[in-house]
Amino acid sequence: MSERVLKRQMRGMTVVAVLLCLAVLLAGWWAASALRNMLQQALQSQMETETARYRLDIERRMEVDQQTLRTLSGFAALWETDPQALQHGLEAAAQQGDYTWLGYFDTSGEGFYAAGEQGAQPTSLQEIDGQVAALARNALQGQSGVSRIYTPEGSGYNRFAYAVPAVVDGKVVGAVAAGCSVEAFAGILDTLPDSGRQGAICLISDSGKVLVRPQSLAAGGLAGNVFETPGFGGENGEALRSALLAGESCFVQLKDNNVEYWAFAAPMGVNGWYLLNVQTAQNVSNGIYSLMSFSRWLTVAALLAVLALIWGGYRAIYKRSAEIIQRSCYDPLTGAYNLPRFEDEVRAVLQAGRPYSLAALNVRQFKFINEIFGRAQADTLLCRIKQVIEAGLRPGECFCRSGQDLFYILFLETGRAALKERIQNMMDEVGRYAMSKNRDYQLLLYCGVAVSTEFLDSEPTVQKGLTHVGFALHTARQSIKHSIWFYDTRLHEDEKLVNYVESRMRQALSDGEFTMYLQPKVSLATGKVAGAEALVRWITAEGKTIYPGQFIPVFEDNGFCVELDLYMVEEACKQIAAWQKAGKTPLPLSVNQSKLLFFEADYVERLQAILARYGVPAHMITLEILEGLAMENREELNEKIDRLHAVGFSVSMDDFGSGYSSLNTLAALHIDELKLDRVFLLQQSGTGEERGRQKVILKEILHMARELSISTVAEGVETAADEALLKELGCGLGQGYYYSRPIPAGEFTEKYLRG
């Protein structure tokens, strides 16, 4: 072999070696970048999740604190009648609660406060910290709030305060305020999980001032202002500063002493507060970055060794990322699967062709438990439920927590008897859990179950199973004790009807399938028809009748009742206009109105537009509202009724006596008509003593209505005896099957409006 050939081959080998080195370097650079991006994305996702959890914990703490103050504000009436009793109450609350002080101020700004073991001391808004005074003044204007963090003069300790209005009979009579130590937040922020990372989370202001730091940062770490801390300068520091001023979340990379940090800031939505989560993955990433740099200068053999190390590092990072991703599949409170992971497990069982059952388990009155016993006790209960379910599962079965107190369970069991026994055992075990050592509170649960082999339509799917079990859970909820309900033929038909109603409702309204029926109201004094109630029936194009009880609840859930109620008002006006055009003396019609529609901002204007379109006077239309509407906001309700009166409408309260009615309701509302629920007449079928007592109640209601100039209508008149009783007691109108069932408008016209 000639030297020229040898040199040429050496040059070729050199070129190949150089190219190979370049390829390895490029591959190493690409691998390092990919690993860095993977690490950054995984850390970013976990930091966002952790920050959201801390934000939720702080918000829950503030809500619990303010709810306690709202409870204390309920004793504000004592300020006028017994100030000393209110002072003692504040002293007791200050000694037992987590507040550093508690205070009450009347509308003049005078009041007193209690702190710890000290007795209540007189004070005024002029004597307390300016921030707290401003907060209390806002509360006197009806606004609850949280102060910025401040340092009381001479104390050296950071504090913040709450203030809520004290309301008596709908009027703000004072304000309840309380001071809290920032240690309450520091304790929450000091719970960063041990995940192999260095860092912490703290509370800062939108100017970068560190307001609350966990104990791990108490003696070092961040400076008093994050922008004075090394590493928070430069372009990324400016990006963080801009995000804070704009009220936005921000994720930036920082560097200090060759150590890279990731910082994530998320707004709290209170006083310009932010949660700042600062973490470093130095212990994971430094080796990888060093290897990337080192690999540029080694020989092919060294590069191969680096590649091996890179592969090992890649696997380590991949494993680390897999752990982070795994955390996203679990409920952070109980450790159970979350819903997406649970759906994957159910889907795997489906693909394997195995029969299964789904159950949905819920706690009765969990919101009440959360409010009365506190979030900590409620969370402990959820963890206990998780333990009980886990102990009752067999190999291949799993469960998840979805929502606040809802647990889904996958059973590889399809026998109803066996399933019911297993679920009942779980319920009994949970029911034995004591919510409090000092209280005897019986825990009750309810459960819906769907068996895949009993799905009544097509092949089972995960979503279909969850839908079926949801219907069964809704039915089980109607019981008042431990209850288990299986998805069956009746629920299947209910589900099909709901799907039909929701898929067809808008087209049915457009096609005029909703028909107005009229049921006469008869004057008990003259025996003549004095008006009618407009009732809706859904008659499909195929001639099938769907009754209100089948579609009205669905419309109330999805909001379509707003459109249907206005449609019925229009149908009533159209009928009155037709009677006028035909030369007949029209009868006034009453139309039911839902809560959603009644509180629409442009409700009155839309009604006026309908009246103008048909030339119908407003006094011919009575708007019926349910009694439950009166229990929520009487002031707003009366304001809306007064506006309707100004137009000329009459307002009737329907179904009085069926729910939460009280005689005070009659005096509080500006209604024109009272419709007595049929329950008053049904109760006349009881014993002689019961009939006598019910008669007295009915008599007093009718008497009070007359005294208040409110006309009365009795529903459910079915017999001559019912009519005679109502006449005797002085009721104005009667309505019921004794006179007529609801009939089509045309038939009503033929029967009752001949001339």
pLDDT score of 533 more than 70: yes
What percent of the chain shows pLDDT beyond 90?
A: 25
Tokens of 185: 């937040």
CATH assignment, 339-487 = 3.30.70.270
pLDDT of residue 481: 74
Tokens of 645: 């009166």
> Mean pLDDT over residues 56-60, rounded?
86
pLDDT of residue 196: 44
> Mean pLDDT over residues 363-371, rounded?
83
- Give 239-295 pLDDT, tens digit per residue: 888 888 888 898 888 776 677 777 888 998 888 889 888 877 554 444 444 544 455
pLDDT of residue 315: 65
Confidence of residue 657 (pLDDT cuts 50, 70, 90): confident
pLDDT of residue 288: 46
Residue 159 · residue 186 · CB < 8 Å: no
pLDDT score of 220 more than 60: no
- Give 487-514 pLDDT, tens digit per residue: 876 655 666 667 777 778 888 888 888 9
Residues with Cβ within 8 Å of residue 299, at least 6 apart in sequence: none
Q: Give the separation between CA 176 and CA 166, rounded to whole angstroms.
A: 6
pLDDT score of 651 more than 80: yes
Pairing state of beta strands 159-168 and 171-181?
antiparallel
pLDDT of residue 191: 64
More confident residue, 253 or 647: 647
Report the CATH fold assignment for 74-181.
Beta-Lactamase (3.30.450)
Q: Can you give the length of the chain in residues?
A: 755
Strand ranges, E, within 155-246: 159-168, 171-181, 198-204, 210-212
pLDDT score of 195 more than 50: no
Q: Give the separation between CA 86 and CA 138, rounded to whole angstroms.
A: 22
More confident residue, 311 or 406: 406
Residues with Cβ within 8 Å of residue 497, at least 6 apart in sequence: 546, 550
pLDDT of residue 3: 41
pLDDT of residue 4: 43
pLDDT score of 7 more than 50: no
Model confidence, pTM = 0.44
Q: Give the separation between CA 690 and CA 694, rounded to whole angstroms.
A: 6
More confident residue, 497 or 126: 126
Strand ranges, E, within 99-158: 101-106, 110-114, 121-124, 145-146
Residues with Cβ within 8 Å of residue 411, at least 6 apart in sequence: 356, 357, 358, 359, 397, 419, 422
CA nearest neighbour of 140 among 168, 170, 110, 107: 107
More confident residue, 653 or 188: 653
Tokens of 195: 């995940």
> Average pLDDT of the chain?
80
CA distances from 723 to 280, 525, 653, 714 (A): 82, 11, 21, 9
Count of beta carbons in the 10 Å neighbourhood of residue 252: 18
pLDDT score of 382 more than 50: yes
More confident residue, 92 or 337: 337
CA distances from 602 to 110, 276, 535, 582 (A): 42, 44, 24, 32
Confidence of residue 746 (pLDDT cuts 50, 70, 90): very high
In three-state form (DSSP H/G/I as H, E/B as E, the rest C), the secondary structure along 620-682 is HEEEEEEHHHHHCCHHHHHHHHHHHHHHCCEEEEEEECCCCCCHHHHHHCCCCEEEECCHHHH
CA nearest neighbour of 399 among 412, 417, 418: 412
CATH assignment, 512-751 = 3.20.20.450
The amino acid at residue 279 is Q
| Token pair 């190390």: residue | 309
pLDDT of residue 319: 62
- Give 288-344 pLDDT, tens digit per residue: 445 444 554 555 565 666 566 666 665 666 566 556 556 678 888 898 999 989 999
CA nearest neighbour of 558 among 636, 627, 624, 503: 503
Count of beta carbons in the 10 Å neighbourhood of residue 425: 13
pLDDT of residue 615: 94
CA nearest neighbour of 273 among 205, 366, 182: 205
CATH assignment, 1-63+193-327 = 3.30.450.20
Q: Give the separation between CA 23 and CA 43, rounded to whole angstroms.
A: 29
More confident residue, 375 or 282: 375
More confident residue, 699 or 234: 699
pLDDT of residue 165: 92
pLDDT score of 631 more than 90: no
pLDDT score of 9 more than 60: no
Residues with Cβ within 8 Å of residue 437, at least 6 apart in sequence: none
Q: Give the separation between CA 206 and CA 606, rounded to whole angstroms.
A: 45
Q: Do domains 339-487 and 512-751 have the same CATH topology?
A: no
Confidence of residue 741 (pLDDT cuts 50, 70, 90): very high
What percent of the chain shows pLDDT beyond 70?
A: 79
Q: Give the separation between CA 210 and CA 227, rounded to whole angstroms.
A: 10
More confident residue, 615 or 75: 615
Pairing state of beta strands 545-546 and 589-592?
unpaired
| Token pair 């003049």: residue | 108
Residue 134 · residue 175 · CB < 8 Å: no
- Give 585-625 pLDDT, tens digit per residue: 999 999 998 888 887 888 999 999 999 999 999 999 999 98
Residue 366 · residue 317 · CB < 8 Å: no
| Spans of all domains in the chain | 1-63+193-327, 74-181, 339-487, 512-751
Q: Give the separation between CA 129 and CA 452, rounded to whole angstroms.
A: 65
Residues with Cβ within 8 Å of residue 8, at least 6 apart in sequence: none
